[in-house]
Amino acid sequence: MPARLVILASGAGSTLQAFLDAAASGDLPAEIAAVGSDRPDSAALQRATAAGVPTFALPVQPGADRALWNASLAEAIAAHEPDLVVLAGFMRVLGPALVRRFRIVNVHPSLLPSFPGAHAIRDALAHGVRITGVTVHWVDEGLDSGPIIAQAAVEIAADDTEDTLRARIQDVEKPLYLTTIRSLAKELR
């Protein structure tokens, strides 16, 4: 039986799309069991639905108890019995109980431990570094702080904007993430 993945995404879902395309072409030794989001209207969920993959959405209500949201998210994930939870642009920090319950992998658009957080590309440009990149890492209870699995470097050009740099980072991050998840999926089954 192939490893079962639950993919969580908040935004445009181009990373998710790379996984959906790989699965459709038989190039992913894993099944995408479900895609979840904190944004019911995200393009990521639309991409999953278009690919015939089950979806679930758990929006964070303003002022609501975050522990309850984490517990609901954990149950929604568990219902799909994943071997691995794959974060693909999921922009919420996961609570400790959820992190301990599943094996979770994230991709982050910087060379961690530099530039953790939600604005990694902007922060790298603002700092004036000449090289940034992509990190695939296990998710622990901190912010982008878990053990590093794979990294790739991306040079910053003098005329880079956030958009041009993001595009080059995403060109590097998709194959790196796919390669990493392929090998983890094989190890897990």
Stretch 50-89: interaction string toward ligand GAR, x if CB under 6 A: --------------------------------------xx
The amino acid at 11: G
Please tell me whether residue 12 binds ligand GAR under the rule CB under 6 A: yes
Kindly state the smallest distance separating residue 14's Cβ from ligand GAR, in Å. 3
Q: Which two tokens stand for residue 134?
A: 């992509």
Q: How far is the CB of 189 from ligand GAR (least distance, A)?
A: 25
Taking the complex as a whole, the smallest distance from the CB of residue 156 to ligand GAR amounts, in Å, to 15
Q: Considering the candidates 108, 119, 127, 137, report the single residue annotated as catalytic.
A: 108
**Which amino acid, one-letter code, is at 118?**
A
DSSP letter for each residue of 91-115:
-SPPPHHHHHHS-EEEEESS-TTSS
Query: Closest approach of Cβ 75 to ligand GAR, in Å?
Result: 23
Count the Cβ atoms, other than its own, within 10 Å of residue 141: 14
Tokens of 104: 């979770």
- Give the number of other CB atoms < 10 A from CB of residue 109: 22
Which of these segments, 63-71, 78-86, 106-114, 124-132, binds ligand GAR (CB under 6 A)? 106-114
Among 3, 7, 32, 120, binds ligand GAR (CB under 6 A): 120
Active site residue 137: no
Which DSSP state fits 85?
E
How far apart CA 8 and CA 87 sit, in angstroms, is: 5
Stretch that binds ligand GAR, among 4-12, 21-29, 32-40, 47-55 (CB under 6 A): 4-12
Of these, 15, 37, 55, 132, which contacts ligand GAR (CB under 6 A)? 15
* Contact indicator for 78, 101 with CB cutoff of 8 Å: yes
CA dihedral 66, 70, 71, 77 (to 10 degrees): 160
Residues annotated as catalytic are 108
Contact set with ligand GAR (CB under 6 A): 9, 11-16, 88-89, 107-109, 118, 120, 170, 173
